[in-house]
Amino acid sequence: MINNDEALDIAEDYILTYVGNLVGCGIPFFDNERTVWVVPILHMSDVATFPLDEMHIDADGDVVYCPTREKLIEIAEKRFEWSDEIKKFTEAISR
């Protein structure tokens, strides 16, 4: 079985190759129920860093799930819209 560092290396290589450099990986943890390494996928920019989704790597080091680049963009856009709505709301109630 691969270890935490190996899971992170696999995740980072996969993300960089198939998704791009605007996202990064969080700290992997092993989910005993699903028997996979779960690696958080984080939006990373000068503006903010926040979780978008996660990828799964099996005990042998094979990526068994990772959202597409398009799906991650969709999730990020929704988060930014939500953030703008909260900002507008808090500005409105603080007047």
How does residue 85 score in pLDDT terms, banded at 50, 70 and 90? Answer: low
Nearest residue to 55 (alpha-carbon basis) of 94, 18, 1: 18
b/e string for 56-71 if b means 16 or more Cβ within 10 A? bbbeeeebeebbeeee
pLDDT in tens, 21-74: 889 999 999 999 999 999 999 988 776 788 999 999 999 999 999 999 999 888
